[in-house]
Amino acid sequence: MADNDIALSVRNLKTFFYTNNRCNKAVNGVSFDIRKGKTLCVVGESGCGKSVTAASIMQLLPRLSRIEEGEIIYHSARGDIRIDTLPRNGPDMRAIRGADISMIFQDPMTALNPVFTVGFQIMENLRYHTALRGGQLRDKTIDLLRDMGIPLPERRVRQYPHQFSGGMRQRAMIAMAMACNPRILIADEPTTALDVTIQAQIFDLMATLRRDHGTAIMLITHDMGVVAELADDVAVMYMGNIVEAGTVDDVLRRPTHPYTRALLDSVPVLGRGKNQSVRAIPGSTPDPLDRPRGCQFAERCTYRIDACDQMPSETQMTPTHRVMCWRHEELAHAPR
Amino acid sequence: MALSDIVRHRSHLDRRFDRIRALEEAGQLTTPTGSRALRKFMNNRLAVFGLIVFSVIFLASVLAPLLTPWDPTRINLRAISQPPSWDHWLGTDKTGRDVFSRLLYGGRVSILVGLGSALASALIGVVIGCYMGYVGGWLDAIVMRISEAIMAFPEIILVLMLVSIVGQSLVNIMLIFILGGWCGIYRLVRAQMMSLREEEYVQALRTFGLGRGLITFKHILPNTLGPVMVNITLSTAAFILQEAGLSFLGLGVPLSIPTWGNILNVAQDLSVLQNNWWLWLPVGVVISLFVLSVNFIGDGLRDATDPTQQG
Amino acid sequence: MLTFIVRRLLIMVPMAIGISFVIYLALDLSPGDAVTRMLNPERTPDPARLEEMRRALGLDAPMPVRYWIWLTGVVRGDFGNTLTGGVPISRLLLDRLPATLELSVVALFLSSIVGVILGTISALRRGTATDSILTVGGMIGVSIPEFFFGLVAIVVFALHLQWLPVGGRLLPTYDSYWDHLPNIIMPALVLSIMMTAGVMRYARTAMLDALSREFIKTARAKGLPEWRVNLLHGFRSALTPVIVLIGFRLPILIGGSVIVEEVFQWPGLGSLFVQSVRNKDLPVVMTIALLTVILVLVVSLIIDILTALIDPRVRLGT
């Protein structure tokens, strides 16, 4: 892949948490690229490290944690910027946040400040990253709200978050994130707190953004259905590692890693009828502070062999498709 | 060497993290077993310090007869206002009574008033709060209004007002404190009851057919234990300070029974303040230390029992 | 907004009346009444004569009637007379009010502002030495009995160093109003320091709570400078609980001023209260108690209105 196709590169990222005086290796060597104008879906169960990865990119990690190793390279118009080396709340990082790379969170009700109007919070973003002032800020904000599909934006600008419905709040959040036309939008489970019908609307909105603004999207989710809908690229995470990654075609049509296959098997598909096999994954994720040796998924894996006591190395099966499993050869050809 | 190693600025947090990481990778750290709350409490240096100081003072008061040969009420007119000596560790007061023994025996009464009233008002508050919170209805509304009315009085005004009506005695003072004190815990427990009543696990229990009483006492009550304990410690501190203030003014426990506040009553006289420091300074310091230790314990309890706090 | 105020008043007024009734009842049931206290204790009174005096004073009417008379008087500002001198209570209160106001208002402002600032600093510098010092300092501040602190201050500054007067407010030698400034320093400081310690702890907790909310992350994600994240988003969100908590400090301020006025012989309402309790001058005691309750209720109403003004969630009724 040519370098000017890529908006953000993450190389061997390791982020460790140090709460309760223990060292929790939440992200333990993760590499991926976000291609310009494409959507990367990061999938995995709760606790696998997907949100931590996003927080690392934005340098929004909590106090008792840090980026241990690795590189996060943002390919901006001004050149390559090593995000991992920037001081957390320094002027460089702050210039990137909100303007180059934006983030939206899971629950818009708690993510928006309840004592300020929605308009105020959007205008804040504009004021700090653009040269707009005064009435221009208001106009731009109203336009943003309208673009995101919020009716009567002139009135909505003056309203408070709790006066919006759930779906509209998330739209407002997206409006706020898109205000400065960022190159990358990170969405951390943006629809988990919303109804399914609203979910569909939000994802339509995101597809529109991608099309109209060429925004690259990093979408974090645990819902395989969403991946099928929106993803160009997929990365499957488990216990701090990416176990499989590739284009959506690679991963969903030719799932190789046992975990990916098990995930896909656990989701019922509309239209396959009531006799389709839906299998839950046996066992549960191990305690991150008491990890098994070698492959983290081994204890729940039906394809386990002795070699799994050693952490598998990453194999590039095709130029786009990579996997971390000793038995990838067999699994690539095994029927589903 | 990567760019990141050169550029990163090593803060003290970084060094601490490095240490933890090294230990973890050497396999030397384990998930501690046992009660998390207890562990957190013991890790809190201030709380442990408070516990120690509290215990020392508490035990000293309880073991008073072993620690001093002097009777705290025995008047000895031949040894008036003597400064500290080997005979009388903290000297004697205006009627020859040994100050140190008055301090110890006085501690008994002060702690009884403080801790006793706090525990009693907590008991009453919990019982009433449980019942009202779960039952609701007009009875609950009345009791709420009553508690609001009582809480509208500044404590000391309420206490002095009642003292002026019913007169001073040890029992009266404790009863008055309890009357003013039950409201806080009552509202706490009631609020917990009302919020937990709607929680899913309670509804689940009810569908299993468990009676209200059982649900209340076995399932909801343990959740309120943390805040209630914290409240008890803080009430104890407050009551001890109050009793000291009242007795200092001569309006609390009658002067015939020594309490920490009573002993300080003589400090109202300027000449005593200036010339006989041993009559008031040690007592004041002991009160402050005791209340401080109780506050440390209360804070430690609050941190330990708060489930939302990180390590 | 208006309905909000009206609703609160509808609860407050009956409660105030209820409390006044209970207070009057207590006053009435206590042994002795106005007549017996006016008499010379040496001489045994003639019962018939007592009855006559009672009738003359209207004391033979049934209790509800007497309560009503008293209540209407209170509303008009007439609290009756003291037992120990027959002085109209209202005049006595007005005489003493300025002294108490001087002390309390200073302490309230000082402690609120300093307490909030220190608490905020403590929260922002969480985990550092500054935070530890401030936190422990705050705990020491609320653990020392107020009167003891006052006594120590008197011993050090008045008796040994002789920088400040021992107590009292206006001495005969004072000409202008400002002469008594040295007198106010110690009591005001003692009262303020105690209050500040309490406010500081609450402000710290409120601030820490606000800073742990999700929207703080969002604010940072927008690339806003730290000061704006902490102060505009964090502090502003903490403001509501802080104001409520300062409002709750008022009863403690009143309680504290009672003790401080006694220790420093400051001629305010607090020391009047103590004096009256000592003299068993119940009318004064009850009147002051009733007035403090009304004050607390009014202040809590004001706090509720303030909260509604600054917190849109409360105002718009969700």
The DSSP annotation for A64-107 comes to TEEEEEEEEEEEETTEEEEGGGS-TTSHHHHHHBTTTEEEE-S-
pLDDT, tens only, C7-25: 888 888 888 888 888 888 7
Q: What is the separation of C-alpha B305 from the centre of its chain, rounded to a whole number of angstroms?
A: 16
pLDDT value for C177 = 65
Q: Sort out which chain C residues have CB atoms less than 8 A from B45's CB and list them.
A: none
CB contact under 8 A, A97 and C225: no
Band (pLDDT 50/70/90 cuts) for residue C80 is confident
Residue A155: other Cβ atoms inside 10 A? 12
Give the residues across from A217 on adjacent strands: A39, A185
Written in H, E and C, the secondary structure of B208-237 is: CCCCHHHHHHHHHHHHHHHHHHHHHHHHHH
pLDDT value for B213 = 66
pLDDT value for B1 = 37
Whether chain B has a CB inside 8 Å of the CB on C76: the answer is no
For strands A241-247 and A79-82, give the pairing. unpaired
Q: Which of A134-143, A322-331, C22-31, C127-136 comes out lowest in average pLDDT?
A: C22-31
pLDDT value for C37 = 57
Distance separating alpha carbons of residues B166 and B162, to the nearest angstrom: 6
Residue B221: other Cβ atoms inside 10 A? 18
Model pTM?
Answer: 0.82
Average pLDDT score over residue span C225-234: 89
Helical pair B117-135 and B170-197, crossing angle rounded to 10 deg: 30
pLDDT, tens only, C105-138: 888 888 899 999 999 999 988 878 888 899 899 9
CB B225 within 8 A of CB B91: no
Chain A interface test: which of C215, C217, C232, C314 (most A C-beta within 10 Å): C215
Structure tokens at C32: 């002795």
According to DSSP H, which parts of C77-176 are helical?
89-124, 129-143, 146-153
Closest-CA distance, C198 to chain B, in angstroms, reads: 12
CB contact under 8 A, A20 and B310: yes
Chain C interface test: which of A113, A162, A176 (most C C-beta within 10 Å): A113
Chain A interface test: which of B12, B17, B25, B28 (most A C-beta within 10 Å): B17
pLDDT value for B311 = 41
Written in H, E and C, the secondary structure of A129-182 is: HCCCCCHHHHHHHHHHHHHCCCCCHHHHCCCCHHHCCHHHHHHHHHHHHHCCCC
Residue A32 has pLDDT above 90, yes or no: yes
Structure tokens at B251: 């309006």
Give the CA distances from residue B145 to residues A307, B153, C16, in Å, rounded to whole numbers and listed in that order: 71, 13, 11
Q: Sort out which chain C residues have CB atoms less than 8 A from A107's CB and list them.
A: 214
pLDDT value for A57 = 94
Q: Sort out which chain C residues have CB atoms less than 8 A from B267's CB and list them.
A: 151
Query: In the predicted model, what is the mean pLDDT of chain C?
Result: 81
Q: What share of chain C is helix, strand, coil (3-state, %, to 5)?
A: 80, 0, 20
Bigger pLDDT: B171 or C176?
B171
Q: Output the CA torsion sign for A293, A296, A302, A307.
A: negative
Residue A209 burial (10 A CB sphere; 0-12, 13-18, 19+):
buried
Residue B79: other Cβ atoms inside 10 A? 17
Band (pLDDT 50/70/90 cuts) for residue C33 is low
Residue C209 has pLDDT above 90, yes or no: no
Residue B126: other Cβ atoms inside 10 A? 21
CB contact under 8 A, B158 and C289: yes
Give the CA distances from residue A15 to residues A63, A187, A235, A314, B182, in Å, rounded to whole numbers and listed in that order: 12, 19, 17, 19, 50
Residue A77 has pLDDT above 60, yes or no: yes
CB A40 within 8 A of CB A233: yes
Distance separating alpha carbons of residues C139 and C132, to the nearest angstrom: 11
Residue A123 has pLDDT above 70, yes or no: yes
Query: Nearest CB to A21: which of B7, B9, B20?
Result: B20
Whether chain B has a CB inside 8 Å of the CB on C140: the answer is yes
Residue A56 has pLDDT above 90, yes or no: yes
Bigger pLDDT: A208 or C248?
A208
Distance separating alpha carbons of residues B300 and B302, to the nearest angstrom: 5
Whether chain B has a CB inside 8 Å of the CB on C277: the answer is yes
CB contact under 8 A, A128 and C214: no
pLDDT value for C31 = 62
pLDDT, tens only, C96-114: 888 888 888 888 888 899 9
Chain C interface test: which of B160, B240, B302 (most C C-beta within 10 Å): B160
Q: Considering chain C, what percentage of its residues have pLDDT values greater than 90? A: 8
pLDDT (tens, 9 = 90+) of chain B, 311 residues, equals 344 444 445 677 788 888 888 888 877 666 666 667 777 777 778 888 999 999 999 998 888 888 778 787 778 777 777 788 877 788 888 888 888 888 888 899 999 999 999 999 999 998 888 877 767 778 888 888 888 888 888 888 899 988 888 888 889 999 999 999 999 889 888 887 777 777 777 777 777 777 666 666 677 777 778 888 888 999 999 999 999 999 998 888 888 888 998 888 888 887 777 788 888 888 999 999 999 999 999 888 888 877 655 44
> Is A26 in a helix, a strand, or coil?
strand
Query: Nearest CB to A23: which of B2, B7, B20?
Result: B20
Distance separating alpha carbons of residues C222 and A83, to the nearest angstrom: 16
Residue A221 has pLDDT above 70, yes or no: yes
pLDDT, tens only, A293-308: 888 888 888 888 888 8
Distance separating alpha carbons of residues A133 and A127, to the nearest angstrom: 7
Residue A164 has pLDDT above 80, yes or no: yes
Give the CA distances from residue B103 to residues B66, B258, C148, in Å, rounded to whole numbers and listed in that order: 14, 8, 16
pLDDT value for B6 = 43
pLDDT value for A140 = 92
Closest-CA distance, A97 to chain C, in angstroms, reads: 5
Distance separating alpha carbons of residues C117 and C138, to the nearest angstrom: 13
Distance separating alpha carbons of residues C137 and C129, to the nearest angstrom: 12
pLDDT value for B5 = 46
Query: Nearest CB to C215: which of A112, A129, A163?
Result: A112
Query: Nearest CB to A94: which of C217, C223, C237?
Result: C223
Band (pLDDT 50/70/90 cuts) for residue A245 is very high
Written in H, E and C, the secondary structure of C59-94 is: CCCCHHHHHHHHHHHHHHCCCCECCCCCCEHHHHHH
Query: Edge-to-edge, what's the strand order for the sheet holding A65-76?
Result: A24-35, A6-17, A65-76, A79-82
Long-range contact pairs involving C152-159 (C-beta distance under 8 Å, separation at least 24): C152/B281, C152/B284, C153/C186, C153/C189, C153/C190, C154/B270, C154/B273, C154/C186, C154/C263, C154/C264, C155/B273, C155/B274, C155/B277, C157/C186, C158/C186, C159/B270, C159/B273, C159/B274
Return all residues near C185 (Cβ < 8 A) that are at least 6 apart.
Answer: C164
Distance separating alpha carbons of residues A191 and C44, to the nearest angstrom: 88
Structure tokens at C261: 């006025």
Q: What is the separation of C-alpha B103 from the centre of its chain, rounded to a whole number of angstroms?
A: 19
Distance separating alpha carbons of residues C59 and C66, to the nearest angstrom: 7
Residue C46: other Cβ atoms inside 10 A? 9
Distance separating alpha carbons of residues C255 and C247, to the nearest angstrom: 14
CB contact under 8 A, B280 and C151: yes
CB C151 within 8 A of CB B284: yes
pLDDT value for B309 = 53
Average pLDDT score over residue span C255-279: 88
CB contact under 8 A, C254 and B296: no
pLDDT value for C318 = 40
Strand boundaries in chain A, DSSP class E: 6-17, 24-35, 39-43, 65-76, 79-82, 101-104, 184-188, 216-221, 233-238, 241-247, 315-316, 322-323
Average pLDDT score over residue span C213-223: 91
Distance separating alpha carbons of residues A87 and B263, to the nearest angstrom: 59
pLDDT value for C160 = 78
For residue C258, give the nearest of A95, B158, A109 by alpha carbon.
B158
Distance separating alpha carbons of residues C150 and C108, to the nearest angstrom: 18
CB contact under 8 A, C148 and B264: yes
Structure tokens at C72: 């209407």
